């Protein structure tokens, strides 16, 4: 079993690459749920949906989130009646949020709902929420605490990050399916090239998960989301700078100190100080071939 930790757009790309090189029942993708939020009365799980659409081949390749075959009548009508439209919900995407919200209110777990939706989209690998208990990433800016999507989408990550909190993490229970997979000695744990601060560390903040990964007896292989000091996408490099850390692949590896056996990074980048076996490979994924090639490099390291 390959257990992959993923959040955001970069994570979903490697998860897709892995799904092309592994039998479906040998890939378990753990989704960050710290980005989840209630909006317009709907329970929205962006990182679960980004993974679902990517693995189903339905993702919008330009935006990285939402669906490619989308229409926007709901948003247009919502705008015309004064509703909040800063968080864009396409007509097809909306059905997923409405149905997930109904099932959560009916008492189903996010794990059960996600497993059913993934199956209905014809996806083979499992997509697993890191926990069925609520964990909410919050960003402390100069004006106070912001909910994650307000910071990330409404404010377009402009407010400088002075602190990050994962509300609810201390009392969240790790997904038991994940704990079982880690105890059953997986072939490897893969930390996808996601933003360490807001996509991977919420997962590691769930009590027991960091320890279960460290004790699983399998290679733990992280892929750098930073190339030549720049983030491939999103606020990763800026978040390092705002934390007073020079953005680099080595700085990413240091975020996972004590967990990694291997670290996959670009051939040209400086590996000084990385306390793991360094694997040199192209980590920029544009095409499906790039995603598959990086997945193969990760599995070869394992």
Residue numbers at the binding site for ligand FO1 (CB under 6 A): 7-8, 35, 46-47, 49-50, 65-66, 87-89, 93, 149, 152-153
Q: Which is nearer to ligand FO1, 92 or 296 (CB)?
A: 92
CB of 238 to ligand FO1, least distance (A): 14
Q: Which is nearer to ligand FO1, 118 or 276 (CB)?
A: 118
Q: Which is nearer to ligand FO1, 94 or 189 (CB)?
A: 94
CB of 166 to ligand FO1, least distance (A): 14
25, exposed or middle or buried, with CB in 10 Å at 0-12, 13-18, 19+?
exposed
Q: Which is nearer to ligand FO1, 48 or 218 (CB)?
A: 48
Compute the distance between CA of residue 225 and CA of residue 253 in angstroms, rounded to an integer.
Answer: 10
Q: What is the side-by-side strand order in the sheet with 188-191?
A: 126-129, 27-31, 2-6, 188-191, 220-223, 262-265, 277-280
Report helix, strand or coil for 260: coil
CB of 82 to ligand FO1, least distance (A): 18
Compute the half-sphere exposure of residue 222: CA atoms within 13 Å on the CB side of its CA: 27
CB of 269 to ligand FO1, least distance (A): 23
Q: What does R_g of the chain's alpha carbons equal in angstroms?
A: 18
Q: Which is nearer to ligand FO1, 47 or 269 (CB)?
A: 47
CB of 239 to ligand FO1, least distance (A): 13
Length of the chain, in residues: 302
Compute the half-sphere exposure of residue 186: CA atoms within 13 Å on the CB side of its CA: 29
User: Over 141-157, what HEC string results?
Assistant: ECCEEEEHHHHHHHCCC
**Of the candidates 227, 244, 235, the residue with the CA atom closest to the CA atom of residue 197:** 235
CB of 296 to ligand FO1, least distance (A): 25
Q: Which is nearer to ligand FO1, 74 or 152 (CB)?
A: 152
Compute the distance between CA of residue 298 and CA of residue 199 in angstroms, rounded to an integer.
Answer: 19
């Amino acid at each position: 079993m390959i257990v992959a930790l993923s959040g955001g757009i970069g994570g979903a790309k490697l998860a897709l690459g892995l799904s092309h090189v592994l039998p479906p029942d040998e890939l378990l993708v753990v989704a960050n749920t710290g980005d989840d939020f209630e909006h317009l009365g709907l329970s929205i799980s962006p990182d679960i949906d980004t993974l679902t659409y990517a693995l189903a081949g339905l993702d919008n390749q330009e935006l990285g989130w939402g669906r490619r075959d989308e229409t926007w009548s709901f948003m247009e009508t919502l705008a015309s009646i004064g509703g909040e439209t800063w968080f864009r919900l396409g007509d097809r995407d909306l059905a997923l949020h409405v149905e997930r919200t109904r099932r959560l209110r009916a008492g189903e777990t996010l794990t059960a709902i996600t497993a059913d939706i993934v199956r209905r989209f014809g996806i083979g690998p499992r997509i697993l929420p890191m926990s069925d208990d609520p964990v909410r990433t919050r960003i402390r800016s100069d004006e106070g605490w912001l909910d994650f999507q307000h910071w990330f989408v409404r404010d377009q990550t402009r407010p400088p990050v002075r602190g990050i909190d994962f509300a609810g993490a201390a009392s969240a229970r790790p997904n038991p399916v994940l704990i079982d997979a880690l105890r059953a000695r997986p072939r490897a744990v893969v930390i996808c090239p996601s933003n360490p601060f807001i996509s991977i560390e919420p997962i590691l903040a769930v009590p027991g998960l960091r320890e279960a990964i460290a004790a699983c007896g399998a290679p733990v292989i992280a892929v750098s989301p930073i190339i030549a000091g720049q983030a491939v996408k999103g606020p990763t490099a800026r978040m390092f700078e705002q934390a007073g850390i020079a953005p680099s692949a080595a700085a990413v590896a240091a975020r996972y100190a004590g967990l990694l056996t291997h670290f996959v990074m670009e051939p040209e980048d400086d590996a000084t100080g990385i306390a793991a076996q360094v694997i040199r490979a192209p980590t920029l994924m544009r095409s499906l071939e790039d995603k598959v090639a990086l997945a193969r490099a990760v599995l070869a390291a394992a």
